[in-house]
Amino acid sequence: MKLTQAQIDQYNDSGFLVLPDVFSAGEVDVLRREAADITQVQRPEIWREKNGAPRTAFGCHKYSDVFRTLSFDARLVQPVEQLIGESLYIHQFKVNPKVAFDGDTFPWHQDFVTWHEDDGMPEARAMNIAIFLDDVFTTNGALMFVPGSHKLGMIPTSPKENNRRWMDLGRVEEIVRTGSDIEVATGRAGSVLMFHGNAVHGSAGNMTPLPRRIVYVTYSAVSNAIRKPTRPEFIAHQTFEPVHAVPPDAFAEYANSLHG
């Protein structure tokens, strides 16, 4: 799947892009069921909220045939290859459930700060692409972005809090006050969201009865492989084989076989 020039321009201007209805309802149903099964298991790759609800399931493409097959899908790989301009490897794969009533906040941050400081990634030649497994509304924990903030480059952060490098709130206020707005990335289940590693973003908690499950794949240029990883391999992968895109019908056929 290739982006149009208008989509590329929008991404370059805003730092994020929503592509509606990329995956079918049947494909999304398979991904939902797999995510639900995975998060029932107690394993170190699955981090939980204080009440035990799943918060993030890392590296599930390593132990799930469904997510491994998904990670090669051309609908994810090709648009990122277009924007980065070379072969990719998977730096990170995760599912963030943001469960109904209990999904917690993700404060304002840039992902590349962590990739650079904690993993030794040289440049912001990596980005996220995500699949909505539920309809994402402004009310159930949608990601919020400061459009154009990726053009500011990597912004230094305060010391780590809960093992994350959240942005100083005063800096976020300054960025917004000097001309940027805040936009919310919403869309139907099956839509795809792409965003730059330096895009300033965060999400509110989910106090609604509507879950907001999202699959994230972080692809990086092979030449941009991490140098000094400090985090576990299931969070910052340390194998750098190029991903070879497979046609979308490969995952669709696989999903149909599981339905059968």
Q: Which residues make Cβ contacts (< 8 Å) with residue 257, sequence separation at least 6? A: none
CATH number, domain containing residue 252: 2.60.120.620
* Cβ neighbours around 240 below 10 Å, total: 17
- What would the pLDDT profile of 214-226 be if each residue is shown by its tens digit? 999 999 999 999 9
* Contact status, residue 231 vs residue 121, Cβ threshold 8 Å: no
**In the chain, how many domains are there?**
1
- What would the pLDDT profile of 148-178 be if each residue is shown by its tens digit? 999 999 998 866 665 678 888 888 888 888 8
The model carries a pTM of 0.92
Query: Locate tokens 């440049």: which residue?
Result: 123
Strands 183-185 and 192-196: unpaired
Compute the distance between CA of residue 75 and CA of residue 66 in angstroms, rounded to an integer: 15
Domain around 215: 5-259
| Torsion angles phi and psi, residue 154, rounded to 5 | -75, 130
Q: Which residues make Cβ contacts (< 8 Å) with residue 203, sequence separation at least 6? A: 98, 105, 106, 141, 142, 143, 144
Tell me the CA end-to-end span of the chain in Å, nearest whole number: 27
- What would the pLDDT profile of 45-99 be if each residue is shown by its tens digit? 787 877 767 788 899 999 999 999 999 999 999 999 999 999 999 999 999 888 7
Query: Locate tokens 């941009």: which residue?
Result: 224
Compute the distance between CA of residue 27 and CA of residue 256 in angstroms, rounded to an integer: 8
Compute the distance between CA of residue 121 and CA of residue 115 in angstroms, rounded to an integer: 6
Query: Locate tokens 């206020």: which residue?
Result: 173
Strand partners, 56: 47
